[in-house]
Amino acid sequence: MHPTPEKATAEMQVERMEADYKKACARNQQVPPGFHAHLGHLYSQLGRLDDARKQFETEKTEFPESAVFVDQLIARLNKHERAAK
């Protein structure tokens, strides 16, 4: 049994989303808009900033209409990285 969304940790959500992505790829299906952006957000919460950036870029590539929003996410990620140094 899976925990309810509000009780799922970022790690649990990443694990589930990565599994869903592998299933979609195996079936040659595209994931819905926002999938990569959300996964990128979860990666950033876990400190996996390179993985987050890759997911944000993938979101922009697959869904160009998301570019303005995703560019804002990338800008926040860059600001966070600079602050951490």
For residue 82, the model assigns a pLDDT of 84
pTM, 2 dp: 0.88
DSSP string, 14-28: HHHHHHHHHHHHHTT
For residue 1, the model assigns a pLDDT of 54
Residue 9 backbone phi and psi in degrees, to 5: -75, 165
* Nearest partner of 64 among 45, 37, 42, judged by Cα: 37
For residue 48, the model assigns a pLDDT of 95
Q: Has residue 29 got a pLDDT over 70? A: yes
Residue 3 backbone phi and psi in degrees, to 5: -70, 160
Q: Delimit the domains of the chain by residue range.
A: 32-85
Percent of the chain with pLDDT over 70: 94
Question: For 28-52, what is the mean pLDDT?
Answer: 96
